[in-house]
A and B are shown apart, each in its own frame.
Chain A
Amino acid sequence: MFQFPAKLKTLSYVLIAIGVVAMVYGFLSGGGHEAADHGHGHDNRPWASLLINNFFFLGISLGALFFLAVQYAANVGWSAGILRLLEGISGFLPFAGIIMVVIVLSAMFHMNHLYHWTAEGIMDPESDYFDSIIYGKKAYLNEPFFIIRTLVYILGWVWAAVTLRKLSLRGDQSTDLAWYKKSITVSAIFLVFFAVTSSTAAWDWIMSIDTHWFSTLFGWYVFAGIFVSALTTTALIAIYLKNNGYLEWLNKSHIHDLGKFMFAFSIFWTYLWFSQFMLIWYSNIPEEVTYYMPRFSEYKGLFMTMLVMNFLFPLLILMSRDSKRNFGFLATIGVVLIMGHWLNVYIMVTPGTVGLDYSIGFTEIGVFLGFLGGFILVVFNRLAKAPLRITNHPMNKESEYFHI
């Protein structure tokens, strides 16, 4: 059994306190209500920061839940020893889900202007602010449907996370495999649900910020990002536990495989990033390139840095076998990938909400630390509640002998 170290627990409480302070600071310094013009950037900043960080950590727990479901659905053997880590990470999903609902409700009730299409008068043909393009999307982008969709996503995902957890806890006691077979069914149902909702959730929560713009592979692009973040987080926690003397059934080959996943899905992410960018760049149609205009002017430095961190860095360093088998090395790259994918979410959200007058300050970093603290608290609490390996998992033996 894993013991939650008291020091780490204290640290996570401190981080949460920093996050709360940063949130309050953001509202006090940003919510000036000074301008009657269309510059909502300042008012939006604390909300945007909340959305960025919440979506980032929601993505990590959702990606871990997806990976967990894949392990069951595909009858995977090697990963039997890390399933509890994935369960632990997906335990953050209900918390991030509640905050997501709060963000969505606050936007729908005009407490902020994160989503341009909720602006008053924009759907009203009589109004001065009427936008006929956005009016054409009314069937999908309207407040009630948006709230219902958000609730459906969150409830569906949380249902899968809670059910898989419950079944695996049964796997600690029972000697038959009924729990395992049921987990396969639940995973299969969740994967079908996830295939649709991972895309639509990305359209709703992220893509509809830039309401005029659209990209058909945006959902996959966002999915690739959250999956890399989730795999990296899993590898980091596995390395942390291993270094502290837990997970004795995990050998270098397991970590090596997680490293391969990190490498492969970093390349996959780049592939989707480039596929999205290149077609828009080449066809050069105004309604599409508007998305990349701020990202190649005011945001260029961050945008390019993010590409280097998420593509060049893992490509050149994670390619070799030795670097994937060295825990210290892999952990360092993992931290860079986490920062890179956080930056990716930041650049997806910020230009459409805060605008061109942006900066990464205490509001963003402080809230990130707050979420990190909450994440550590929830995940490690969950890890401490059950054995770090499902006692009666049928693949435990096979996983122990895993060798590549």
Chain B
Amino acid sequence: MANKSKSVISVLFNDDDVMLKSIKPIREKGYNIREAYTPFPVHGLDHELGLARTRMAITAFIFGAIGLAVAIALTYYTMISDWPQNIGGKPSFSWGENMPAFVPIMFEMTVFFAAHLMVWTYFVRNGMYPGRKAMNPDPRTTDDMFMLEIEFDGGEDELRQLLKDQGAVEINLVEKAEEESPELEEAHA
């Protein structure tokens, strides 16, 4: 929103395949697609938009490793160090020899940490945390329309023609670059 040096056009499609196929020619012409809004996950969209692969998997692994470490510390402190316990005739008082009994705890804590922390990581990463005000520019994209927001520098007619050729059903200018014509901005306000 802050970057007003470029104009933004929003284009609506009524079919996910049509939208997906239009992305390649748009990007080949050098336009930057700022955002895509779809009512459901569209397979291959991230690839077409040229987005880098998510690093969420790495965070999941790290969270799991943290959970494993917490479980080891927990079982060591409670069962061996702070209050040594003799359960099932296994009073060896060493963590290593009792390790098989702690494996279920280690497993559960690994899963618990990975799953719960991943939920919050996911919310933070895509900005959809609870209480966040919806930022959808067009409610129709939650129903049956697919929208792309495209940034451009001048040459609006050319872009409109390209989008029409790709099968767009509606094209709107949503943001105008500030330097170009400030009086139009005032007129809108």
Contact = CB atoms under 8 A, between A and B. Distances in A.
Interface of A: 274, 277-278, 281-284, 319-321, 403
A400 B103 CA distance: 42
B57 interface: yes
Given A277-B100, A278-B104, A284-B88, 15 more contacts: A274-B100, A274-B103, A278-B100, A278-B101, A278-B103, A281-B100, A282-B90, A282-B100, A282-B101, A283-B88, A284-B90, A319-B61, A320-B57, A403-B43, A403-B44
A369 B46 CA distance: 47
A392 B100 CA distance: 52
11 contacts: A274-B100, A277-B100, A278-B101, A278-B103, A278-B104, A282-B88, A282-B90, A282-B101, A284-B90, A320-B57, A321-B57
Contacts of A282: 88, 90, 100-101
B89 interface: yes
Interface residues of B, number: 11
A224 to B, nearest CB: 17
Contacts of B101: 278, 282
Contacts of A319: 61
A37 to B, nearest CB: 35
Interface of B: 43-44, 57, 61, 88-90, 100-101, 103-104
A218 B61 CA distance: 31
Nearest to A404: B43
A197 to B, nearest CB: 31
A173 B88 CA distance: 65
A269 to B, nearest CB: 15
Contacts of A321: 57
A403 B104 CA distance: 36
A277 B61 CA distance: 27
A319 B57 CA distance: 10
A320 B103 CA distance: 23
A389 B43 CA distance: 26
A278 B90 CA distance: 13
A281 B87 CA distance: 13
A281 B88 CA distance: 10
Given A274-B103, A319-B61, A284 B89 contact: yes
Nearest to B104: A278
B170 to A, nearest CB: 30
Contacts of B88: 282-284
Nearest to A322: B53
A283 B100 CA distance: 12
Interface centre among B100, B101, B103 (most CB of A within 10 A): B100
Across the A-B interface, the 8 shortest Cβ-Cβ residue pairs: A278-B100, A281-B100, A282-B88, A282-B101, A284-B89, A274-B103, A278-B103, A403-B44
A18 B57 CA distance: 47
